[in-house]
């Protein structure tokens, strides 16, 4: 394995790892929202935070971007093995 191949494997691993982290954090942000997806009681922990819906919207951005990063790194890894 030369330096160029090892660099592409490092990029794939970083993309996969960062994509998984983005999915986990984004899901956590979505779970702690107030009335974003489902109606919640006003005294739930998500409704106590004034920025809960902003965090939920950030989660709605992070989850698809994380999934895109995971899929892209899988495609790159499969493409490298076929060459």
Domain ranges of the chain: 22-34+43-83
Report the pLDDT value the prediction gives residue 8, as an integer from 0 to 100.
75
pLDDT for residue 83 is more than 60: no
pTM of the predicted structure, to 2 decimals: 0.78
Cα–Cα separations (whole angstroms), residue 80 to 32, 37, 67, 69: 39, 40, 20, 16
* Cα–Cα dist 29/57, whole Å: 8
Q: In the structure, what pLDDT confidence band is assigned to residue 71 with cuts at 50, 70 and 90?
A: very high
Cβ–Cβ < 8 Å for 75, 15:
no
Task: State pLDDT tens for residues 13-61.
Answer: 899 999 999 999 999 888 878 777 667 777 777 677 777 778 888 989 9
Report the pLDDT value the prediction gives residue 35, as an integer from 0 to 100.
74
pLDDT for residue 80 is more than 70: no
């Amino acid at each position: 394995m030369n330096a160029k191949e090892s660099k592409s494997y490092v990029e794939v691993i970083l993309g996969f790892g960062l994509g998984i982290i983005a999915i986990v954090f984004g899901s956590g942000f979505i779970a702690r929202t107030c009335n974003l997806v489902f109606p919640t009681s006003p005294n739930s922990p998500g409704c106590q935070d004034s920025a809960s819906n902003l965090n939920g919207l950030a989660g709605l951005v992070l989850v698809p971007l994380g999934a895109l990063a995971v899929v892209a790194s899988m495609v790159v890894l499969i493409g490298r093995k076929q060459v």
